[in-house]
Structure 1
Amino acid sequence: MDISDFDYDLPEERIAQIPMEPRDSSRLMVLDPSNHTIEHRRFFQLGDFLKRGDLLIFNDTRVIPARLIGAREHTGGKVEVFLLRQIEKDQWEALVKPGRKVRVGSVIQFSEELSCEIVAHTDFGGRIVRFIYDGIFEEILDRLGTMPLPPYIHEKLEDRERYQTIYSRVKGSAAAPTAGLHFTESLMEELRQKGIQFGFVTLHVGLGTFRPVQVDTIEDHVMHSEFYSVSAETAELIRTAKKEGRRVVAVGTTSIRTLESAASATGVVEAGTEWTDIFIYPGYEFKIVDAVITNFHLPKSTLIMLISAFAGREFTLDAYRTAVEEGYRFFSFGDAMLIQSRQ
């Protein structure tokens, strides 16, 4: 398939710059792929479209303050280091700007207590860096690092927690699983009272989120690997739900990728930790996911390809055009979409 098959026109003013308050006041577009219908609601009305026994799967990853600004030793030139994933104790994979001026052996100073050395290049144009520090690294990073908001967000984020889900727990992501940003404690309690179950997986969002598709034929695109984990408890919840014919509803594309990566050929989710480079685009046969909660994604991105695989490409693009016309807010701090079961 051609990359242009997943393009759409988006006016810049439709890109949300700040999060909605409260979280669940954002808009909710409800799609029914079977009947090709679209409804317009608010996220706090999500329970109207879920059934008793539905199992919602959330990604409980927590974003780290992954963006560090430092200076090159000797020259003093400004350098940005964007942490992607921890390889071992003091070594991280990172994006470095300007990369052409930062060679292996270069040292970048962030403060008197923190510096890093460039130790290697990566296959995807990044770097492996080794940190040198005096104290506890996590505490230093929390003080010096900033929240890695996407480049299309130009407003300053006053509250770091607004780029975290309320259930975030496991530190390690370079970006938030944004479909979960709409959930509030009160909404989750309302859903519990309705008989809806919750399960949690972990996928640390990495380079794949920031790496554009640079090929014309999407089948030639290579995804970057990301770490995921599925607990024995969550795996059992999913197996029981599937056995009893109840829906598994993935909250966000990261949850979709985790569930489909953890599924066996016969459609059984196994507990464990692993790396995944799964690339889902139209033609993919879903093994686990029955319904999806997601945000609106960038044109030509792997995420809109994934959603097109679930809801159908033409229907997805029709929904996006409708969202533009109806004034929906797009991307990380934007509005949400519920895609009902395809059956």
Structure 2
Amino acid sequence: MIATNSSFEFTLPRALEATEPPEQRGQGRDDVRLLVSQRSSGKIEHRRFSDLLALGFQRAVLHLARRLSDTEWIAELRHAEPDSLRTTPWLDARAGTEIALRGGGRAVLVRPAVDSEVARLWVLQVTLELSADEYLMRWGRPIVYGHITKSRPLSAYQTVFADVPGSAEMPSAARPFTADLVTRLLVKGVDLAPIVLHCGVSSLEAHEPPQPEPFEVPPDTAQRVNAAIRVGGRVIAVGTTCVRALESSAVGPGLVLPSSGLTNLVVDAAYTPRVTTGLLTGWHEPMASHLAMVEAFAGRRLLEVSYRAALDAGYLWHEFGDSHLILP
């Protein structure tokens, strides 16, 4: 979703794919594992996510959490498999095709959202009897990938920061945060500054460029980020989507202006972050585009060392898995 593909390759064992939330594994949300890697020293530590309290943060920027409008959406087209959570890509769709939606709605395929030979994402003209938010709350369900074996309620895919509707997927890097952990971080003096970026479909194919995504960096957030930078504090982005929003609002090294709109920013290994000094993220699949962004913060050597350490130690992958904190 964020960057061009890195050549970094590895094999992910099926046993390390988290198929259920930690709550179903007898853990709390914030009891997942946390690997902390530091670029300047090359040091790696194995922690628990709740150990964020012990890491001496001075500032952190959290991503809270697509449709174009109530009547025009971008959607991924897939066929549902009978009696299964699994779906298969619908790759032979044609403009003008009308789709009957549950609850009396309908959608008409307008045009492919991506200029490519195989159209997976389409712009739809949607007609509903309810508002878009009401319709999605009643009839929508979370995106389910192949490693998930059981349907989960929407609450399993919400973060403690969820506020503004609009994301197609959960900003999963923030999932381990709990209200109690956030309160303790605030008491300790960590400044949690909100950013809104509506996550699109993050599982892009190799031929697909990054999609524009709506974002907002409010004036108060911009002021707090700039203040942290002035006093030498760390600005830690929670999630790759947060990096995209924050860096899109940067007008130079160490300076953020309030902004909103659509971001087309690509952050890859060749990109030098202008305001973001660290990244809290999950563990990404082999050849995933997100790895190129991780490399922008970790560098190639630390990226490889960190992933090897996570594999050797049995860290869990995907949205219900463990976390990775990259510090400067």
Instruction: State if a TM-score over 0.5 links the two structures.
Output: yes
Structure 2 residue identity aligned to 1:171: P
Listed as ranges, the matches of 1:1-343 within 5 Å are: 5-21=7-23, 22-51=28-57, 54-61=58-65, 85-97=66-78, 99-111=90-102, 113-124=104-115, 125=119, 126-157=121-152, 159-207=153-201, 209-214=202-207, 222-341=209-328
Shift of 1:140: 2.4
State TM-score, norm by structure 2: 0.88
What residue in structure 2 maps to residue 67 of structure 1? none
Q: What secondary structure, in the 3-state scheme, does the structure 2 residue paired with 1:156 have? A: coil
| Cα distance in structure 2, aligned partners of 1:89 and 1:307 | 34
What per-residue deviation string (whole Å, max 9, x for no partner) do you get for residues 206-232 of structure 1? 14x121334xxxxxx732211111101
State TM-score, norm by structure 1: 0.84
| Cα distance in structure 2, aligned partners of 1:187 and 1:293 | 15
**Preserved CA contact (<8 Å) 2:278 2:327:** yes
| Cα distance in structure 1, aligned partners of 2:15 and 2:313 | 13
Q: How many residues align?
A: 307
| Cα distance in structure 2, aligned partners of 1:228 and 1:132 | 25
CA pair 137-227 structure 1, distance change in 2 beyond 3 A: closer
Shift of 1:196: 0.9
Structure 2 residue identity aligned to 1:304: L
**Preserved CA contact (<8 Å) 2:34 2:46:** yes
| Cα distance in structure 1, aligned partners of 2:321 and 2:149 | 14
**Preserved CA contact (<8 Å) 1:57 1:200:** yes
- Structure 1: give runs of 5+ residues left out of the alignment: 62-84, 215-220
After TM superposition, the structure 1 stretch with the greater mean CA deviation from structure 2, 299-308 or 109-118, is 109-118
**Preserved CA contact (<8 Å) 2:6 2:289:** no
**Preserved CA contact (<8 Å) 1:235 1:270:** yes
| Cα distance in structure 2, aligned partners of 1:40 and 1:238 | 28
| Cα distance in structure 1, aligned partners of 2:252 and 2:110 | 39
| Cα distance in structure 2, aligned partners of 1:112 and 1:48 | 49
Shift of 1:340: 1.6
Structure 2 residue identity aligned to 1:114: G
**Preserved CA contact (<8 Å) 2:77 2:122:** yes
| Cα distance in structure 2, aligned partners of 1:56 and 1:37 | 21
Q: What secondary structure, in the 3-state scheme, does the structure 2 residue paired with 1:301 have? A: coil
What residue in structure 1 maps to residue 83 of structure 2? none
Shift of 1:143: 1.8
| Cα distance in structure 2, aligned partners of 1:277 and 1:135 | 31
**Preserved CA contact (<8 Å) 1:114 1:140:** no
Structure 2 residue identity aligned to 1:147: P
| Cα distance in structure 2, aligned partners of 1:212 and 1:337 | 24
What per-residue deviation string (whole Å, max 9, x for no partner) do you get for residues 237-264 of structure 1? 0111111211111111111111111101
Shift of 1:203: 0.9
Shift of 1:336: 0.6
Q: What secondary structure, in the 3-state scheme, does the structure 1 residue paired with 2:241 have? A: helix
Shift of 1:111: 3.0
Q: What secondary structure, in the 3-state scheme, does the structure 2 residue paired with 1:130 have? A: strand
**Preserved CA contact (<8 Å) 1:33 1:339:** yes
Q: What is the identity percentage for the equivalent residue pairs of Structure 1 and Structure 2? A: 30
| Cα distance in structure 2, aligned partners of 1:123 and 1:143 | 29
Q: What secondary structure, in the 3-state scheme, does the structure 1 residue paired with 2:67 have? A: strand
CA pair 139-3 structure 1, distance change in 2 beyond 3 A: closer
Question: What root-mean-square deviation, in Å, do the aligned CA atoms of Structure 1 and Structure 2 show?
Answer: 1.8
CA pair 291-137 structure 1, distance change in 2 beyond 3 A: closer
After TM superposition, the structure 1 stretch with the greater mean CA deviation from structure 2, 282-291 or 104-113, is 104-113
**Preserved CA contact (<8 Å) 1:201 1:258:** yes
CA pair 248-132 structure 1, distance change in 2 beyond 3 A: same
| Cα distance in structure 1, aligned partners of 2:253 and 2:276 | 14
